[in-house]
Amino acid sequence: MNNEEAMRESSARITHMLADLEGAVGPNAWPRVEALVTELVALYGEGLLRMLAHARASATDAGELDARLASDQGVASLLSLHGAHPVPLETRLERALVRVREAIGDARVEIERVSSGEITLRASNVHQVVTAGNFTAIVNKAIQHEAPEIAAIHIDGLPAAPPQKLVTTEQLVRRGAR
């Protein structure tokens, strides 16, 4: 298992433990637990940011340092969590959309708005070759890879899903009676 996989598994375990803990402590104690976790993350984040500042101050090539930090998905994710990713958010989002465009072909997707951890995209030319669900999954994966601090992705302009043809029990019974 590589370091990125280990970090992802650790993150998943933490999420699961927090969900279990929330259920165990109940609604009266949960806000205190949440406040404690928030303070711990902020404390470690401040330490991380200070170490980063010292590393940049002593680096002979800060650009090379930033490139190395950005290429390590685990480190880049932690830096994103604390608003210190070495690559600007807009650049990372555009990089994600390039990957989406490569995967989708002639469908188009553009950034409409980014604010408070949310992004709104405008999609066009999404048709039968790529379903709206597949398109959404590809967009979500690319953005989460490049910008894990984005918590919500809204996509305007997707075609409505075709109505589902349901087969009722009555229709099945009639077919079987033939």
Q: State the CB neighbour count (10 A cutoff) for residue 15.
A: 10
Quote the pLDDT of residue 128: 52
Q: In sequence order, what DSSP letters do the residues of 40-106 get, joined into one string?
A: HHHHHHHHHHHHHHHHHHH-S-HHHHHHHHHH-HHHHHHHHHTT--SS-HHHHHHHHHHHHHHHHSS
What is the DSSP-derived secondary structure letter of residue 12?
H
Q: Is the pLDDT of residue 88 over 60?
A: yes
Note whether 129 and 94 are within 8 A (CB). Answer: no
Q: How confident is the model at residue 151 (pLDDT cuts 50, 70, 90)?
A: confident
Q: Indicate the range of 86-90, 121-125, 162-166 predicted with least confidence.
A: 162-166
Sheet holding 118-124, edge to edge: 108-115, 118-124, 152-156
Above pLDDT 70, what percent of the chain? 87
Q: How confident is the model at residue 102 (pLDDT cuts 50, 70, 90)?
A: confident
Q: Delineate the domains of the chain, giving CATH numbers in brackets.
A: 3-81 (no CATH), 89-156 (3.30.300.130)
The CA distance from 157 to 121, in Å, is 9
Round the average pLDDT of the chain to a whole number and report it.
84
pTM equals 0.68
Quote the pLDDT of residue 178: 54
Residue located via tokens 């601090």: 149
Quote the pLDDT of residue 157: 85
Q: How confident is the model at residue 164 (pLDDT cuts 50, 70, 90)?
A: very low
The CA distance from 61 to 51, in Å, is 16
| Tokens standing for residue 114 | 């980014």
Note whether 176 and 121 are within 8 A (CB). Answer: no
Residues near 66 by beta carbon (within 8 Å), at least 6 away in sequence: 56, 86, 87
**φ, ψ at 128 (rounded to 5°):** -60, -25
Q: Is the pLDDT of residue 130 over 70?
A: no
